Structure 1
Amino acid sequence: MSADPLIDSLLAAVGGRPDDLPLRLHLAGLLLDAGRGGEAIAQIGQALARDPGNNQAQSLMQRALGTPAPEARAARPPAPRAAPAGPTPPGDDPLAAYEQELADVVPPRFARAGDEPEPVVGDADRVYDVESATVRLADVGGMTAVKERLELAFLGPLRNPELRRMYGKSLRGGLMLYGPPGCGKTFLARAVAGEMGAKFLSLSIVDVLDMWIGNSERNLHELFEAARRNAPCVLFLDEVDALGHKRSQASSSSMRTLGNQLLAELDGMEGSNEGVFVLAATNTPWDVDPALRRPGRLDRVVLVLPPDAEARAAILEYHLRERPIANIDLRKVVVATEDFSGADLAHLCETAAEFAMADSVRTGEVRMIEQRDLERALKEVRPSTRPWLSTARNVAIFANEGGVYDDLVAYLKRRKLL
């Protein structure tokens, strides 16, 4: 049998038995004999990852990298030289040579001086940005019902420690904010942290997901640990539907495992969650795993709606206050912006400012932002909440099991959308 068919057969066998090191190393030797050094190094690297001290694998790696074997080095008389003042340079160590060559595949065998990070001291955190929120609920326009719910769930017990102890109310819990995009869910979470005088830690899917098996779960655990170290802390799970998607619909086992890890962290199985307030936000609560909403986890669900007339007026005033304006009929703009989210209103003001600035550039005469600019902007900027409301209407009609979305049903009925 020729070498290549034999190698092909061994490659197939190793694929079926990846932990069979003698078979893998035999294949590596044949690859070296066939001049296929790159493939041989990959096979040897896999063997060393499983058994770093394997002498046969080390010998094959030295051969693959062109490093003299230990016996050959011992046979040569050493050249006279002065004793080194410090540690042996990496270039004089054959194992260090192929360790450096395979740094992206095989982790180093030993930690070197200086590799160990300094311990975390006080409120400092090595990996994650733990903020001190500066906004308060008074900075949030409107949302009276949402503020009352937050006062009942979190803020009241924190301000009244004696009553909290008497009633046995724990300083832990979770609440899920849902509603159309751009309506201030993230800003509201920061305001809650500021109102409590607590730290704020925001978690998104990109902070968690990792290509290597097990790393995503570890990242999630470390984020919760950072929140526990900095308690009292508001841990904000942004787009929780991505992180805690329905496990029955998960496209991979890794996402189901990640969902299980999130449930364990919320239950405090990996550490006490006392003083950790979990706020989650999503635009699609119907995609969130029902297990996340059971009592003791994200058991309170609050609808964050598009801003009402009072809130729209406050948001427009905020975005226009540092711009040159004249003769603005704010009441008329408020009436014309029903269903606009906070982000839509900010975009409306930005667009009106662009029209006024373009006119000033064209005429060479600087002028104020006027009512006509806002009315022109209203013809271009459309409320982004309407597609969400259309989807939410179907959910309210066909998927309101257990009355989870009763507040959404009431809102749609008030708006005569249901």
Structure 2
Amino acid sequence: MKKISVILGIIVLAFILLTYISISSTRQENKTSSIVLNMEDVKSIDFSRIDSVLVAPSTLYKANAVKKMMQGQQYRKAWSTPVRFRVLHLDTLLGGAEILKEGGGKQTHSLKLKTEGGYIYTLRSINKDPEPLVPEWARTLGLENIIVDGISAQHPYAALAVAKLAEKSNLLHTDPKSIFLPEQNALEKFNKDYGNKIYLLEHETDGGKNWTHYKNVKAILDTEDLQELKKDVGPKLNIDKSTLIRARLFDIVKGDWDRHSKQWGWVVTQKDTEYMAIPIAGDRDNAFFSVDGIIPSIISNKLILPDLQSFKEDIDYLPGLVMPFDIYFLKNTPRENFINEAKLLQGLLSNLAIEESFKAWPPSLVELDGEKIIKSIQTRRDNLPQIANDFYEIIDNRDYLTEPLKGSEDLELPSSLIGCFDCF
């Protein structure tokens, strides 16, 4: 017993030592910053004469052998690979765009824009700032780099390929474009924080003029406003469940584990007194999420964080991917609806369709990770009917919600509308 205790003690000490060696290999400053190549002084450049720039999103995630072993390989090379970005000037975007407000979640910084034609767009930072997610104990122990470095598990350009895959799947997407935003007069007070950085420019999932192909659109709403409309009109408002099921199966196929209610918008169409809401998925940051290495593998264990799952051919733990959002909108939907959408999605996502979608990436990025990602998508697609059946059963066996959806905490909703969308 004493010998076993000594061995375990040595293992624990080795783990602690390697952890600190791993995190010490990265500079102490945790801020990510893009590297604009071939330009020594970005601030001195007249970008009105330049239509594109070569940018490496971040070199913060470069790693030595110890760091790769302890914190994983992830998509480190994709983050440091130079890619050409189109230069964006707000005063020429679709006749000119004004900044409505600053936004973003816990990691992403964003600006909401309105064009002269009334369309709403969002600039979402490609580089993330996970500092708000770092718990105080991690700072105290000097382990904040474990959280910061976790961003390397996200592919910086996942959203571009996902948009093409969504198009092949007959699903709405926000049509993201990768852009470089130089400092400019139109940014006004936001120049310091937002100028000379890279973003995804995409349609907003709520508000503004209808940008979709749907006709008779009453509004584009976020989930909270959809609930408010449901409270007002009751059974006259329904959601397109078939499309939502296909969208959620699509999420599973591409390994997007973070799909809470604030990441969805709804195109609400009206015919006479009846309303139909079609889902629009936003925020595709965690598609193709890749976790390996000793520390991330421990953290992503289903007993610790069951929803945090690495994208590979097999699904680690499907119950961890079922969100309160799914219970709220899809409980009591017939099993056959799930199976039918799985078969439809299988047919739409042919090998050719999948491969064509990755032409949204430069060849240098496809060479790095494309083959592995495509193979995982194809395998999950092949297993879709079984995945759909299991997805249905997990939802069916879960209880109705007793707490509001994320983002709806401040709404005054009747208890029935908190439980599920169709309950009211």
TM range, smaller chain: under 0.3
Say which structure is richer in helix: 1
Normalising by the residue count of structure 2, what TM-score does the alignment of the two structures yield? Answer: 0.26
Q: Return the index of the structure with the highest Cα Rg.
A: 1
